[in-house]
Amino acid sequence: MPFGTHVLTIDPELETAHIVTVLRQTIQQDFRRKGAIVGLSGGIDSAVVLGLAVKTFGPERVLAVMMPEKASSPVSEQYAKQLADKYGVTAITEDLTAGLAGLNCYERQDEAVRSVFPDYDPSLDAIKLVLPTDLLERGSLNVYSLSLSRPGGAERRRVLPVAAYLQIVAASNMKQRSRMLMVYYHAEQRNYAVIGTANRNEHAQGFFVKYGDGGADIQPIQHLYKTQVYQLAHYLGVTQEIIDRTPTTDTYSAEQTQEEFYYRLPFDLMDLIWYGLDHEVPAAEVAVALQLSTQQVENVYRDLAQKSRSTAYLRAKPLMVR
């Protein structure tokens, strides 16, 4: 099939039937679990996974768990509840703020932020981690800057030193790992399985937390590009608010898109270029189809390959010495 914008089009009905078959076989026959737990974030991926779980087991054998913490947008929980109601699924909220505070998650993060911005005040300032936005044009490297915004003041950005970067990430990863802990509590209490929500982008490029959101019994959409997840969302009747919402990290106190935090391109463009890389389509051919220069496509090829290579550790299972 020649490369073009059509290459990521799927038949959502057929794809749903396939996933439902695998979910049923794996969870009921292989794992002998009676239902499914889905951590529901208010974003597109967990919404689609909830829809697939409902198709597989029926709403009465699915539990949605919403796990906000103090940096979460209130809109996330609102959208999640609306979707659970639409699907007829029981949804519970487990606020993780107190637990994370008990683990000193916020203090650890704040300490690292202050090493970069000594005047940082978490009661006033909003922070986020950002990458350069010139991937297409210049192919710049993935070096994070810390952005700090105070109401009424200008945004300030500084390149993160290694120690501060690692500490901020390690602290914020406590959020995803606490969510994993909580969904497994509810799964074990009911003899259910945990259904993961990682898509192909998150898994292959390492945009997940090992033993956090990467911790699940099955990953039903891990083989799908984000744009294909959206195709399933329409088929499964995901609420329009979630479909229309820009994907966010919902992890740091400032509003932040996933494009800004990690991917550096809009999903529709990135997915097509990534498909080209996956299928060894020459950069020049992709460039013609997408009205880009060959150099721009090569910049993205390089970035995708680098992200995949440098995050192999996250995808590795514990190794046994023989």
Q: Enter the tokens of residue 80.
A: 């999640």
H or E segment and range at residue 202: helix 200-205
Tell me the C-alpha distance between 141 and 188, whole Å: 43
Binding mask 105-144 for another protein (x = CB under 8 A): ---------------------------x-----xxxxxxx
Determine if 170 is a binding residue for another protein (CB under 8 A): no
Smallest gap from Cβ 310 to another protein, in A, equals 4
For another protein, which is the closer residue by CB, 124 or 166? 166
Reduced to 3 states (helix: H, G, I; strand: E, B; else coil), residue 250 is coil
Of residues 162, 316, 319, 320, which one binds another protein by CB under 8 A?
162
Smallest gap from Cβ 145 to another protein, in A, equals 7
Q: In what order do the strands lie in the sheet with 145-149?
A: 126-130, 145-149, 156-159
For another protein, which is the closer residue by CB, 122 or 139? 139
Determine if 210 is a binding residue for another protein (CB under 8 A): no
Q: Are 96 and 68 in contact (CB under 8 A)?
A: yes
For another protein, which is the closer residue by CB, 47 or 130? 130
Choose one: 32-40, 100-108, 156-164, 269-277; the region binding another protein (CB under 8 A): 156-164
Q: Within 13 A of 243's CA, how many CA atoms are on the CB side? A: 14
Smallest gap from Cβ 97 to another protein, in A, equals 29
* Cα separation values, 283 from 12, 180, 272, 286, Å: 29, 39, 11, 5
Of residues 58, 88, 153, 161, which one binds another protein by CB under 8 A?
161
Smallest gap from Cβ 41 to another protein, in A, equals 25
For another protein, which is the closer residue by CB, 28 or 140? 140
In sequence order, what DSSP letters do the residues of 79-108 get, joined into one string? Answer: HHHHHHHHHT-EEEE---HHHHHHTTHHHH
Smallest gap from Cβ 185 to another protein, in A, equals 33
Q: Identify which of 194, 201, 258, 249 has the alpha carbon closest to the alpha carbon of residue 224.
A: 201
Of residues 159, 170, 243, 284, which one binds another protein by CB under 8 A?
159
Q: Identify which of 96, 56, 42 has the alpha carbon closest to the alpha carbon of residue 246.
A: 42
Tell me the C-alpha distance between 223 and 153, whole Å: 43
Smallest gap from Cβ 143 to another protein, in A, equals 5
For another protein, which is the closer residue by CB, 162 or 319? 162
Determine if 160 is a binding residue for another protein (CB under 8 A): yes
| Sites for another protein among residues 280-319 (CB under 8 A) | 302, 305-306, 309-310
Tell me the C-alpha distance between 259 and 190, whole Å: 37
**Binding region for another protein (CB under 8 A):** 132, 138-145, 159-162, 165-166, 302, 305-306, 309-310
